[in-house]
């Protein structure tokens, strides 16, 4: 727990069975056990559960309104990001909410700990027996078939009627996430020619920073502003190796100073083991392409360990960690994702709102769009409809898809994209999505949600990226390549903005969709899946490559430099 503020329950003499006096009402439920899990039986009543309680936020509508104001280029408040205190004031629960929830927990002799900087998340540790009474439920053991991992969840739980409007959700309950949460990046070993060539023709064999600089017009000039940082998140014991970064930069950015490295932060028991054989492909890719593209922009690698009790692989803890910082990075890139329908709406919405809080503070949140084409991030998907990647489907993140080829660039076949079932079409992309839907007509009707937020927002190359891992060179594919690359571009733009005395980009989506001409539109390729050809890349926005790939000079103009 990284936030102070334990709320001590009054020692209460109430006998077990108190809930009989409370009027309970079902708060969240799911119709069936999610695919990939099987019910083993009831969880033993003395087993300890770590639960989180999300409290109603004081003024979430005010937060979203403020986010749009500071992020919409035509607004008079554009760029005037909120301070940590201003965000917390909008998000902190009211004293009425705190009292109501504490009275409820006190009646069961439960102590809670505040685990988010605004005080909107509490953690409690209770036995299954007490949790079953508190929430009028039956926590059960479920096995995740692929990994064999057992988790304790339920299909439905209740809270007292008088707490409706005070409690958003209790978690983990009906959201069935299962470890291990590993990057799916596959890699092939490659030997490099003795002399490296940065000719465009070399890019047909492998993509390195020089190819991306040439293709997108990314300058090699070093950044000057140390306050502007890029954050890279790592999960699933994927560790970033400093010696490998040195070797990578030495080979592929010989012009850069030879002491560029990254800072390591850890939460949830995270580590960053530097044994060469422990280098993670994902973590190395993400650090090598942020540092390798955003010349001299400071990079921080956040290693999120396995002791996260947030029931969401550490995503919640990560968001709360960045919110707790006085100066969070101005861009955060994450190349991990899950399926939207594996997360309850209430939980997904709470996490999405945490990204909105970071956006309001001036931080851009980037996620790779997923590598399963129209199947999203999913495995075992029955394909009764297309999959949806989360958090990419949250409107407050910028989702990055993948392309390949150079003349012209085309969509990478695995680049996930589609439409959310949880969030409607936001105003910033309304006309872009409407054009695509009118092109689509009846095709795939029923397989995707025509009222949902479309993703990805943008894309970059994502095939045959060269990386160094365990002192050797490898090629990797995935939208995992694209998100750090785009983060590098935004890191450099932010550096120029800060140097000019302007604000960083923060939540970028309204800016991106109103600056479509700063992108090279990708108009061919598709993202097959579920036995279909998937969506096609066409002129204008599409749910494969978004608005297209960045043109640095045009982006500089678009930001007013």
Q: Which residues bind ligand NAG (CB under 6 A)?
A: 8-9, 109-111, 136-138, 186-188, 257, 259, 421-424, 449, 451-452, 463-464, 475-477
Pick out the residues of the known binding site. Answer: 521-522, 540, 542
Q: In Å, what is the CA distance from 231 to each residue of 182, 296, 393? A: 19, 14, 21
Secondary structure (DSSP) of 152-203:
EE-SEEEEEGGGBTTEEEEESSS----S-------EEE-PPPSS---SGGGG
Run of H or E including 338: strand 338-339
Active-site residue 251, yes or no?
Answer: no
Place of tokens 């850069």: 256
Nearer to ligand NAG, 137 or 357 (CB): 137
Nearer to ligand NAG, 129 or 305 (CB): 129
Indicate the pairing of strand 121-127 with strand 112-114: antiparallel
Smallest distance, ligand NAG to C-beta of residue 252, A: 17
Nearer to ligand NAG, 33 or 179 (CB): 33
Please say whether the dihedral angle defined by the alpha carbons of residues 479, 483, 484 and 488, taken in this order, is positive or negative.
Answer: positive
The DSSP output letter for 278 is: G
Smallest distance, ligand NAG to C-beta of residue 254, A: 12
Indicate the pairing of strand 299-304 with strand 338-339: unpaired
Run of H or E including 288: helix 281-293
Smallest distance, ligand NAG to C-beta of residue 228, A: 17
Please choose, from the candidates 380, 297, 381, the residue with its C-alpha nearest in 3D space to the C-alpha of residue 333. 297
**Which of 480, 482, 483, 536 is flagged as catalytic?**
480
**Which of 88, 208, 286, 340 is flagged as catalytic?**
286
Q: Is 187 left (phi over 0), alpha (psi -120 to 50) or beta?
A: beta
Active-site residue 420, yes or no?
Answer: no
Distance CA 456, CA 458 (A): 6
The residues facing 390 across adjacent strands are 338
Active-site residue 451, yes or no?
Answer: no
Contact (Cβ atoms closer than 8 angstroms) between residue 145 and residue 37: yes
Closest residue to ligand NAG in the complex (CB):
257
HEC profile for 467-515?
A: EEECCEEEEECCHHHHHHHHHHHHHHHHHHHHHCCCCCCCCCHHHHHCC
Nearer to ligand NAG, 154 or 520 (CB): 154
Backbone angles phi, psi at 546, to 5 degrees: 60, -135
Smallest distance, ligand NAG to C-beta of residue 84, A: 29
Smallest distance, ligand NAG to C-beta of residue 341, A: 9
Nearer to ligand NAG, 104 or 422 (CB): 422
Pick out the residues of the known binding site for Ca(2+). Answer: 521-522, 540, 542
Smallest distance, ligand NAG to C-beta of residue 20, A: 13
**Which of 88, 282, 296, 317 is flagged as catalytic?**
282
Distance CA 293, CA 215 (A): 12
Place of tokens 């309204």: 510
Nearer to ligand NAG, 97 or 449 (CB): 449
The DSSP output letter for 256 is: S
Smallest distance, ligand NAG to C-beta of residue 258, A: 7
Nearer to ligand NAG, 209 or 362 (CB): 209
Nearer to ligand NAG, 138 or 515 (CB): 138
Smallest distance, ligand NAG to C-beta of residue 68, A: 18
Burial of 446 (0-12, 13-18, 19+ CB in 10 A): exposed
Distance CA 202, CA 208 (A): 9
Q: Which residues are catalytic?
A: 282, 286, 480
């Amino acid at each position: 727990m990284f936030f102070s503020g334990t709320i001590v329950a009054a020692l209460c003499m109430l006998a077990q069975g108190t809930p009989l006096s409370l009027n309970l009402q079902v708060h969240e439920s799911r119709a069936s056990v999610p695919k990939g899990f099987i019910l083993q039986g009831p969880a033993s009543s003395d087993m300890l559960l770590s639960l989180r309680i999300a409290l109603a936020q004081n003024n979430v509508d005010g937060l979203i309104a403020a986010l749009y104001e500071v992020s919409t280029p035509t607004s008079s408040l554009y760029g005037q990001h909120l301070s940590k205190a201003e965000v917390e004031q909008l998000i902190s629960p009211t004293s009425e909410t705190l009292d109501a929830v504490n009275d409820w927990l006190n009646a069961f002799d439960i102590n809670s700990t505040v685990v988010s900087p605004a005080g909107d998340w509490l953690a409690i540790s209770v036995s299954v027996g007490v949790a079953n009474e508190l929430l009028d439920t039956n926590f059960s053991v479920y096995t995740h078939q692929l990994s064999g991992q057992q988790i304790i969840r339920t299909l439905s739980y209740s809270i007292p009627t008088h707490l409706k409007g005070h409690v958003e959700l209790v978690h983990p309950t009906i959201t069935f996430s299962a470890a291990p949460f590993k990057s799916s990046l596959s890699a092939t070993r490659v030997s490099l020619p003795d002399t490296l060539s940065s000719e465009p023709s070399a890019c047909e064999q492998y993509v390195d920073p020089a190819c991306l600089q040439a293709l997108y017009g990314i300058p090699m000039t070093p950044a000057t502003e140390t306050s502007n940082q890029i954050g890279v998140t790592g999960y699933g014991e994927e560790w970033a190796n400093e010696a490998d970064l040195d070797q990578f930069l030495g080979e592929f950015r010989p012009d850069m100073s030879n002491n560029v490295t990254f800072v390591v932060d850890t939460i949830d028991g995270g580590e960053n083991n530097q044994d060469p054989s422990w280098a993670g492909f994902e973590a190395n890719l993400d650090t090598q392409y942020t540092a390798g593209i955003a010349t001299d922009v400071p990079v921080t690698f956040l290693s999120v360990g396995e002791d996260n009790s947030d029931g969401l692989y550490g995503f919640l803890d990560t968001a709360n960690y960045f919110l707790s910082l006085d100066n969070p990075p101005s861009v955060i890139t994450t190349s991990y994702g899950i399926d939207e329908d594996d997360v309850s709406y209430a939980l997904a919405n709470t996490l999405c709102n945490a990204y909105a809080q970071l956006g309001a503070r001036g931080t851009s949140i980037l996620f790779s769009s997923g590598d399963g084409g129209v199947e999203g991030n999913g495995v075992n998907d029955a394909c009764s409809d297309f999959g949806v990647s989360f958090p990419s489907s949250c409107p407050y993140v910028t989702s990055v898809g993948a392309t390949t080829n150079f003349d012209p660039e085309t969509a990478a076949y695995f680049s996930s994209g589609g439409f959310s079932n949880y969030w409607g079409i936001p105003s910033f992309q309304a006309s872009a999505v409407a054009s695509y839907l009118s092109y689509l007509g009846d095709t795939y009707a029923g397989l995707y949600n025509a009222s949902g937020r479309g993703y990805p927002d943008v894309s970059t190359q994502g095939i045959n990226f060269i990386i160094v891992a365990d002192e050797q060179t490898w090629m990797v594919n995935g939208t995992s390549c694209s998100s750090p690359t785009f983060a590098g571009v935004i890191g450099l733009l932010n550096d120029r903005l800060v140097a000019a005395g302007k604000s960083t980009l923060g939540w970028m989506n309204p800016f991106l969709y109103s600056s479509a001409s700063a992108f090279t539109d990708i108009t061919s390729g598709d993202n097959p899946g579920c036995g279909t050809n998937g969506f096609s890349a066409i002129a204008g926005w599409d749910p494969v490559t978004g608005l297209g790939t960045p043109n640095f000079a045009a982006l500089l103009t678009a930001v007013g430099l």
